[in-house]
Amino acid sequence: MKNNFDELFDEQAKNLFQNFEMDFNPQDWTKIERQLNQSDEKFDANARQKLENYEMPYNKQDWAKMETILDKNRRRLPYFWFYKTLEFSFVSLLLLSTALLYSDKSDFEVHQNLAANNNSKTANNNSTAANNNSNAANNNSKSANNNSNAANNNSKSANNNSNAANNNSNAANNNSNAANNNSKSANNNSKSPNNNSNAANNNSNAANNNSKLANNNSNTANNNSNVANNNSNLANNNSKSANNNSKSANNNSNAANNNSNAANNNSNAANNQNELLLLKNAEIANKIQPENGNGDENENLSAASLKKVKLTLPFIRQMRLAAVLGMETHTENSLGRGVASFLAGASLETDINRHFALSFGLHYARRNYELELNSQETRPDGLIFSKKELRNTHLSLLQIPVALQTNVFRNEKWRVYLTSGLNASLIFDKTYSGTLQISAAQTAGNLRMQSNISPREYEGGLFQTGNFVENAFLTAQIGVGAERQLTDHFSLFIQPTYQISFTRFGQNRQDKTRVISLNVGLKTNF
Amino acid sequence: MELAITMSDRETQLIQACLREERWAQKELYESSYGKMLGVCMRYSTCQEDARDILNEAFVKVFRYLSRYQIGTSLDAWIRRIMINTAIDFYRKEMRHRHEDIELVYNNPSENTDLMSSYSVKEILAVIQKLPPSYRAVFNLYAIEGYAHKEIADILNITESTSRSNLVKARSKLKEMLSHLYPQKSQSTNYEE
């Protein structure tokens, strides 16, 4: 039984300790935290030690599964590239064909307009009907220099033209309109040679001046009529001005852009490379395994089993990049006799299966032609002039060949295949060189002139003054190729090819060509 | 972490052959890395089947991107990293299709810091595979691979605090599961202490 003192003591003690708190000591917490961290770290370290280098036992079924996945992926990847390549080629051909068809139509209209101009017999228009470009003016000045009979007016006009022509932007197809514009703006142009907006007409003014002079003086060199396209009109000029005629005649004879087809088509790398690689791999494996010490399967590979491996391992699709050089010869056309030409380029090939491969590429081809033209012209006064023109033409082409290759024979080192396909060609540059001799036949020895031909009197390539329709064409090609494997990654090939164009090209789209080429090159697979 | 090492001719040859997609080389690389890498995959998956799927998927990447491997660094570490990344991808997919049951952490059953050492690898793997994916991923990345919480947060697209929290929970749950699944070992370890 408690007395009052005890009760009081208990009460006071209770009150005293009921809200009693010790001051916080951070060191105590640090100590606990360290212990906790150490505990966690040790736990983690133990787990790491146990698990880090843990290895599961090998299961052959897993490799079989893996191999299936790899085969599936390997089959899928070349298909991807094949379809992409096919898609690209198809779209390219489609665009080219569309452009050609469209150009056919517009070309027809242009020729109709030209015919109308010819009927009106406005000879001066011919000069302006030409591609209203800067070359025309320069042509004039050069032609004037070439011709000793050039009138002063002509040379002035030529200067005017040269200033103005830099600003010419009219297209070649505006021939029918050009004729009218030229005749109207003739005077203005002659007075203001630097008038940029009338630049195209400046050329025609020169032609007007020249033609007038030609009427007054039969010997006036009307060099300004450097018309490339309007051949029939130029013929009218010829009857009035001798020099003009001669050049116009030349233009006529050079009417066509004689594009010939470049050989191309890199041959594809052999599919048998896969087998070759596999065979080598198996050999390497034999060498490696003894060092490894655990190659239980490969160690036992004998020559007989290698053959079995070679026969049973799956076909591996590959892509190959080929660098190609080629020599080619082509048939005669309106540019003249074909002489030795060459091509260079690259192509990409992809296997379709064991028997077929698809290739497409980008080639540059340089084609050369020689032409000799002899003609006679009789002036109204009865004087007969003989002309002899020797001209070399050099065409630069870009080609996109697409071909399907079919293997006819192959072993570990050789592959022989047939190739067939299409080749889209674009003449982007044309250059000319040569001489023009004019002599009076009745006064032989007394009147004889020789000059270099003016390249700018002739039609240009697509990147010069030419239009697309006259500088683009399609060819079909067939060929046979032989490929020799050098190493695992490199092979040499040789591939003769025959091409024939099935769309026309050149001036007035009158030319077709046939090309025989011999391509050689180096391929690498990746 | 890149280790500069001198590669043996054989390894170089193997890699080059793999780059040429030569099957024998691929098989050899697969076989040589199989055990370790499947062990890695096991830690990130819930069962062996999943681990094998991860392994094969990762090896497809290895063969596809082997050209990116820098000669002179550790091939093993490079492959391991691909394994982990693939496992994390797998984890992400798993998280999309599954509502994770994040349980409350039991009371810490044992403060025995040497708990792990008394269990076999298979036993530890078994309990790790039973962890919820988010715990398992954090625990693997932090405790085994040595990633920092910030890196883990970036990899798993979570916050750092979540990573810390998951790690604590993972540890606790591991301890709890080990104690419950293998009580005898747990007790014997305590007695030893």
Between A170-184, A280-294, B50-64, B92-106, the lowest mean confidence (pLDDT) is in A170-184
Is A44 within 8 Å of chain B by CB? yes
Same structural domain, A221 and A267: no
Among A242-246, A323-327, A443-447, A464-468, name the one with the lowest average pLDDT.
A242-246
ipTM: 0.73
pLDDT at B106: 47
Both A392 and A507 in a single domain? Answer: yes
Q: State yes or no: pLDDT of A176 exceeds 70.
A: no
Residue A290 near residue A301 (C-beta atoms within 8 A): no
Q: Give the residue-averaged pLDDT of A296-309.
A: 45
Strand partners, A480: A418
Beta bridge partners of A475: A423, A501
- State how beta strands A356-378 and A448-452 pair: unpaired
For B116, counting Cβ atoms within 10 Å of its Cβ (0-12 exposed, 13-18 middle, 19+ buried), the class is: buried
How far apart, in whole angstroms, are the C-alpha atoms of residue A411 and residue A271?
A: 9
Are A499 and A417 part of one and the same domain? yes
Which tops the pLDDT comparison, A268 or A2?
A: A2
Tell me the shortest Cα–Cα distance from A53 to chain B, in angstroms. Answer: 7
End-to-end CA distance of chain B: 37
- Measured distance CA(A259)–CA(A387) in Å, rounded: 25
- Any domain includes A222: yes
Residue matched to tokens 């596809």: B64
Using the beta-carbon criterion (under 8 Å), do B56 and A65 form an inter-chain contact?
A: yes
Q: Is A295 on the interface with B (CB under 8 A)?
A: yes
Where in the sequence of chain B do the CATH 1.10.10.10 domains occur? 116-192
A37, A38, A51: best to mutate for the B interface, most B CBs within 10 A: A51
Per DSSP, which regions of A411-489 are E strands?
414-440, 448-452, 472-485
User: Does any CB of chain B come closer than 8 Å to the CB of residue A56?
Assistant: yes
Closest CA to A501 of A431, A399, A350: A399
User: CB of A360 within 8 A of CB of A329?
Assistant: no
Residue A229 is assigned to a structural domain of this protein: yes
CA dist A247 and A251 (Å) reads: 6
User: So what's the pLDDT on residue B79?
Assistant: 92
Element (H, E) at A495: strand A490-501
A33 touches chain B (CB under 8 A): no
How many structural domains compose chain A?
A: 2
User: Containing domain of residue A411, as a range?
Assistant: 258-271+315-525
| Same domain, residue pair A262 and A154 | no
3-state secondary structure of A322: strand
Confirm or reject contact between A303 and chain B (CB < 8 A): no
pLDDT of residue A233: 40
Higher pLDDT: A301 or B160? It is B160
Q: Are residues A214 and A326 in the same domain?
A: no
Label residue A434 left, alpha or beta by phi (over 0 means left) and psi (-120 to 50 means alpha): left
- Find which of A42, A70, A312, A319 to mutate to test the B interface (most B CBs within 10 Å of its CB): A70
Q: Does A42 touch chain B (CB under 8 A)?
A: yes
Contact A48 B144 (CB under 8 A): yes
Beta bridge partners of A330: A515
Residue A40 included in any domain = no
Please answer whether residues A132 and A164 qualify as being in contact, where contact means their C-beta atoms are separated by less than 8 angstroms: no
Residue A143 and residue A237 in one domain: yes
Residue A495 binned pLDDT confidence (cut-offs 50, 70, 90): very high
- Interface contact A69, partner B, CB < 8 A: yes
CA-based nearest residue to A472, from A484, A461, A488, A483: A461
Radius of gyration over alpha carbons of chain A, in Å? 41
Same domain, A355 and A217: no
Q: Which helix (H) or strand (E) holds B139?
A: helix B133-139
How far is the CA of A3 from the CAs of A65, A420, B34, B105, in angstroms? Answer: 90, 124, 84, 51
Task: Give the confidence band of A506 by pLDDT, cuts at 50, 70, 90.
Answer: confident
- The structural architecture, per CATH, of the domain B9-96 is Orthogonal Bundle (1.10)
Alpha carbons B149 and B153: distance in angstroms, whole number: 6
Regarding whether A412 and A351 lie in a shared domain, the answer is yes
A199-216 and A134-146 helices, crossing angle to 10°: 30
Could you tell me the two tokens for A197?
A: 């907006």
Beta-bridge partner residues of A430: A395
Q: Please tell me which residue, A376 or B96, carries the higher pLDDT value.
A: A376
Half-sphere exposure (Cβ direction) of B17: Cα atoms closer than 13 Å: 24
The predicted-structure confidence for A107-145, as pLDDT tens digits, reads as follows 445 444 444 444 443 333 333 333 333 333 333 433 333
> A54 lies in a domain?
no
Cβ within 8 Å of residue A167, ≥6 positions away? A134, A196, A197, A199
Distance CA B95, CA B158 (A): 13
Q: Does A1 touch chain B (CB under 8 A)?
A: no
For residue A377, pLDDT over 80 is answered with no
The reply to whether A457 falls in a domain is: yes
Q: So what's the pLDDT on residue B185?
A: 59
Per-residue pLDDT for A201 more than 50?
A: no
- As a whole number of angstroms, the distance between CA B118 and CA B107 comes to 21
Give the percent of chain A with pLDDT over 90. Answer: 10
With contact defined as beta carbons under 8 Å apart, do A260 and A516 qualify?
A: no
Q: What is the pLDDT along chain B (193 residues), one digit of tens a residue?
A: 444 445 567 788 888 888 888 888 888 889 888 888 988 898 888 888 888 889 988 998 898 888 888 877 888 889 999 999 999 888 887 776 655 554 544 444 445 555 666 778 888 888 888 888 888 999 989 988 889 999 999 888 889 999 999 988 888 888 888 887 766 655 554 444 3
With residue A356 as reference, give the H or E element that holds it: strand A356-378
Determine contact, residues A286/A297, Cβ cutoff 8 Å: no
Which residue in chain A has the smallest CA separation from B42?
A56
Q: Binning pLDDT at 50, 70 and 90, where does residue A460 land? A: confident
**What mean pLDDT is predicted for residues A421-446?**
79
Q: Are A225 and A267 within one domain?
A: no
The mean pLDDT of A342-351, rounded to a whole number, is: 90
Q: How much of chain A, in percent, has pLDDT values that exceed 70? A: 53
Q: What is the CATH number of the domain that holds A328?
A: 2.40.160.20
A380-428, pLDDT tens digit by residue?
A: 777 777 788 888 888 899 999 999 999 888 777 888 999 999 999 988 8
Which ranges in chain B are annotated with CATH 1.10.1740.10?
9-96
The residues pairing with A371 across neighbouring beta strands, listed in sequence order, are A391
Distance from CA of A321 to the nearest CA of B (A): 15
Distance from CA of B165 to the nearest CA of A (A): 13
Nearest to B138 by CA among B174, B106, B189, B114: B174
Interface-testing mutation among A55, A279, A318, with chain B (most B C-beta atoms within 10 A)? A55
Confidence label for A498 from pLDDT (cuts 50, 70 and 90): very high
List CB contacts of A435: < 8 A, sequence separation 6 or more: A389, A390, A450, A451, A452, A453
A54 touches chain B (CB under 8 A): yes
Residues of A in contact with B174 (CB under 8 A): 47
* Minimal CA separation from A43 to chain B, in Å: 6
- Assess whether A377 and A430 both reside in one domain: yes
How far is A476 from A48, CA to CA, in rounded Å? 68
Cβ of B24 within 8 Å of Cβ of A282? The answer is yes
> Are both A264 and A242 inside the same structural domain?
no
pLDDT digits (tens, 9 = 90+) for A154-168: 333 333 333 333 333
Q: A284 in a domain, yes or no?
A: no
Q: Chain B within 8 Å of A40 (Cβ-Cβ)?
A: yes
Instruction: Report the residue of chain B nearest A44, measured CA to CA.
Output: B143
Please tell me which residue of chain B has the smallest CA distance to A314: B23
Cβ within 8 Å, pair A288-B21: no
Count of pairs with CB atoms under 8 A, one residue in A, one in B: 117
One domain, residues A322 and A384: yes
Q: Please tell me the predicted confidence (pLDDT) of residue A226.
A: 38
Answer with the residue of higher pLDDT: B81 or A205.
Answer: B81
Query: Is A523 within 8 Å of A483 (Cβ atoms)?
Result: yes
Nearest CA in chain B to A287: B10
**Residue A298: left if φ>0, alpha if ψ -120 to 50, beta else—which one?**
alpha
Say yes or no for a CB contact (<8 Å) between B111 and A39: yes
Q: What is the mean pLDDT of residues A247-252?
A: 38
Pick the more confident residue, B71 or A342. Answer: A342
Higher pLDDT, A422 or A30: A422
Q: Do B143 and A57 touch (CB under 8 A)?
A: no
Write out B21-60 in H/E/C secondary structure.
CCHHHHHHHHHHHHHHHHHHHHHHCCCHHHHHHHHHHHHH
CA distance A113 to A293: 86
* Residue A482 domain flag: yes
- CATH assignment, B116-192: 1.10.10.10
| Residue A65 to residue B52, Cβ atoms within 8 A | yes
B23 vs A14: which has the higher pLDDT: B23
In what helix (H) or strand (E) does residue A524 lie, and over which residues does it extend? strand A514-525
pLDDT digit string, tens, across residues A69-102? 888 877 666 667 777 777 777 777 777 766 666 6
483-522 of A, contacting B, C-beta below 8 A: 488
Candidate from A40, A59, A70 with C-beta closest to B171: A40
Is residue B130 within 8 Å of B116, Cβ to Cβ? Answer: no
